[in-house]
Every structure is written in structure tokens, then in C-alpha cells.
Amino acid sequence: MTKRTDNTRHARTEVLDAFVASDSPKPSPGALSAAEAWLSRSEPVVIPTETVYGLAARALDRAGVLSIFEIKGRPADNPLIVHVTRSSHLDEAGAALSPVARRLVERFWPGPLTLVVPCRASLPWVTAGLDSVAVRHPSHPFAAALIDRVGPLAAPSANLSGRPSPTRARHALADLSGRVPLIVDGGDLEHGLESTVLDVRGDVPVLLRPGALPAELLEQALGASVERASAHGEVRSPGMKYRHYSPRAELWLYPWDSGAPQRSGAAALLHGDARQLRASGRTVAAIAREPIEAERFIPQPGDARELARNLFGWLYEFDELGVDCILVEGVAPSGIGRAVMDRLERAATRVRTPEPARGIAS
């Protein structure tokens, strides 16, 4: 049997604005009705959230959710997040909240925090057969209004599996054109990076994915530290074992160097690599603190939140330009910088670290 690679399901993908006007937070009734109509036909649609664009189907609609996996080419063992706005939605998803989970919900919802909790319902198409379910209450006005209308939505990021999460409607369109009937355009998003995923089933909460909500804020709220999933050897979040966030070009990462703010070892290495790559005829895009000659240069924002908000968008742009190599100077792995570095490390085809300088021992 030949494998079907053409995944065209719709002759046309319609793009509708999420809001009645670009300066208004009021969700467009037309876009809400169109989304509702497709969802009730089990056709997943792309919607904005405050983190990244999501590919949504009703969580209780088995056929709709299975279509999400087909459209994205997502491995069947990678469960989805259920997006909710009311406690009755948590009941529908079978989500059982512990006292700690409730505390976090009160403090951080709606917002970019996903909680993994025990699951009492049987929704194997969402949970990939696990006995837990991931839930989050998005703060984006369009996503929230749609969930209010149609009930809980299962939604992964609206990219083909393995690609960067889209943070602009046209980047979702680049991946999913013809595969979905509708993309709701919410403009630029507040965070540009996926939610933080925290497993709150055990005595000590475990950070499964650093994200838009910095772990330091969780620790402050809990008055205790959270464990990092990597400390556990085993894979606790199925999604973390796959290569992720990859642009088509090679991505070379130069991890943050606590040394000089000016031309540090990592920065010098990046500059030298850019020169050599271009001398050998390859095209280069770079995100770095100091300007370099490249086909596309983006000054690295001093604020890690600004980098987070733009990073995936830039990766898609570099792919549109068709560069061969993307060179990125890393940032300090704290606050949202931790999540940025996590994504860059997963996207990287090479991690470049300078030889340690042979200084004089003191």
C-alpha cells in the first residue's frame, strides 16, 4: 500500500479575524459561529490562545480529536491538553484536582499554566490512554469565548508535528493550509511560547515542560521548589521525547556565557562560524547581541520575554527566506529564559561551545 502524503482535506482554508476590530478585545461573533459550525462537524480549526495558536477539536468528540492527530502527523502516544473555562469542564474531562492543584488554579488561571492531574473519565483519544489528563484555562478572549460556547477543547499547537509552534496566523497557514477549513487570526500573541506543564499528581510538583509561566513564580506560590522532569531519567511527558520546534534550516546554538557582556567566547565563536559558513557559500540568519554580516540579522532583545514572544515567528521567517543555517546566541536559563533555552536546545542541530579559555589560575 502506498502511503498517502498529500493531506489536503479542504479546497480552501478560510482566515477570519478573531476580534470585531483590531483594537478591540471583543471576539468576532462571525468567527465564533464559523468555528462552532466546523467543530460540530468534527473538523478541527486553528484558534489563537495567549501562548501559541492551537489546533482545536471538542475534547469529547473522538472523531474530531483523532483528526487533530492525522492533520498534524502527531504520534498517537502523545496526549493533548484539554482547554477549559469552567469547573464543569474539568468534570467533563474527568480532571481530579488536589488541594495543591486548586491553589495553583486560583493563583494562575486563566493563563499559561497546564496542570497534569489524575483522570477519572475515559477519554483515551485525548489522554493517549494515560490515567492522567492535562488541563489549562486559557486567558485569550477568543479561545475563552469559544470554549464557553462549545465546551472543553483539546488543542495542541497548530503546527505540523516537529515544527515550531505558530505565533502568527500566517505561520499556522504555512503548515496547515488545505488541512483545516478555518484559521482564526488573533494577531500577535501575548507570550509566543507554550504554557508551562506541571505534574501535580505526587507530593512534589514536577515541571514537565518549562514555559510561559516561569517556574520561579510557581515556586513562590507553592512556597517550595518544583522538581525538574529531567531529574527522573524516565519520560514523564510523552511529548518531551520527540525532536521539536525544528525549522527546516540547520540551527546552531551558542549557549549563554556568563562571561563578558560584550564579545564573549560564545559570541566570538558565532561570528567566526557565520564568516566561515558564508565564505563556503551557505546563507545565514542570526540572532545575536552584536551585529554580524548575514543574509538576515536580528538583534537579540535584552528582555527574554521579548525574545520568547518572537522566537518561533523568526524561525518561520528564516524558513520563508530559505536560509541554510540559523545561528542563535543563547540567553541566561532563568525565568522565561529557561523555556527559551529549552526550545532552542530541542531545535538545535548543533550546540557550539567555545574551548574553555586557558586563564591563569587564581
Q: Report what 85 binds from ligand TXA, Mg ion, none; CB cut-off 5-8 Å by kind.
A: none
* Window 180-199: contact mask with ligand TXA (x via CB under 6 A): --------------xx-x--
* Integer Cα distance of 275 and 333 in angstroms: 27
* Window 144-183: contact mask with Mg ion (x via CB under 5 A): -------------x--------------------------
Q: Report what 49 binds from Mg ion, ligand TXA, none; CB cut-off 5-8 Å by kind.
A: ligand TXA
Q: Report what 150 binds from ligand TXA, Mg ion, none; CB cut-off 5-8 Å by kind.
A: none
Should residue 52 be labelled a site residue for ligand TXA when binding is judged by CB under 6 A? yes
Q: Whose Cβ is closer to ligand TXA: residue 152's or residue 288's?
A: 152
Name residues contacting ligand TXA, limited to 133-152 (CB under 6 A). 133-134
Closest distance of CB 241 from ligand TXA, Å: 9
* Integer Cα distance of 213 and 208 in angstroms: 13
Q: Whose Cβ is closer to ligand TXA: residue 178's or residue 238's?
A: 238
Q: Whose Cβ is closer to Mg ion: residue 28's or residue 157's?
A: 157
Q: What angle do CA 12, 17, 20 make, to 5 degrees?
A: 145
Q: Report what 214 binds from Mg ion, ligand TXA, none; CB cut-off 5-8 Å by kind.
A: none
Q: Whose Cβ is closer to ligand TXA: residue 197's or residue 328's?
A: 197
Among 49, 139, 167, 300, binds ligand TXA (CB under 6 A): 49
Closest distance of CB 158 from Mg ion, Å: 9
Q: What angle do CA 17, 21, 27 make, to 5 degrees?
A: 60
Best CA proximity match to 319, nearest among 245, 252, 253, 247: 247
Should residue 80 be labelled a site residue for ligand TXA when binding is judged by CB under 6 A? yes
Q: Which stretch binds ligand TXA (CB under 6 A): 23-31, 100-108, 231-239, 302-310?
A: 231-239
Using the structure block, give the residue that is written with the C-alpha cell 502516544.
77
CB atoms within 10 A of CB 70: 13
* Window 197-216: contact mask with ligand TXA (x via CB under 6 A): x----------xx-------
Q: What is the total residue count of the chain?
A: 362
Q: Whose Cβ is closer to ligand TXA: residue 157's or residue 300's?
A: 157
Q: Report what 155 binds from Mg ion, ligand TXA, none; CB cut-off 5-8 Å by kind.
A: ligand TXA
Residue 222 grid coordinates = 507553592
Q: Report what 116 binds from ligand TXA, Mg ion, none; CB cut-off 5-8 Å by kind.
A: ligand TXA
Q: Whose Cβ is closer to ligand TXA: residue 81's or residue 325's?
A: 81
| Residue 242 contacts residue 78 (beta carbons within 8 Å) | yes
* Integer Cα distance of 224 and 232 in angstroms: 18
* Integer Cα distance of 8 and 114 in angstroms: 31
* Integer Cα distance of 58 and 332 in angstroms: 38
Q: Whose Cβ is closer to Mg ion: residue 49's or residue 132's?
A: 49
Q: Whose Cβ is closer to ligand TXA: residue 181's or residue 210's?
A: 210
* Integer Cα distance of 334 and 243 in angstroms: 22
Should residue 238 be labelled a site residue for ligand TXA when binding is judged by CB under 6 A? yes
* Integer Cα distance of 2 and 43 in angstroms: 25
Instruction: Kindly list the residues in this chain that would bind ligand TXA in the complex (CB under 6 A).
Output: 49, 51-52, 54, 78-81, 112, 114, 116, 127, 130, 132-134, 155-157, 194-195, 197, 208-209, 237-240
Instruction: Kindly list the residues in this chain that would bind Mg ion in the complex (CB under 5 A).
Output: 157
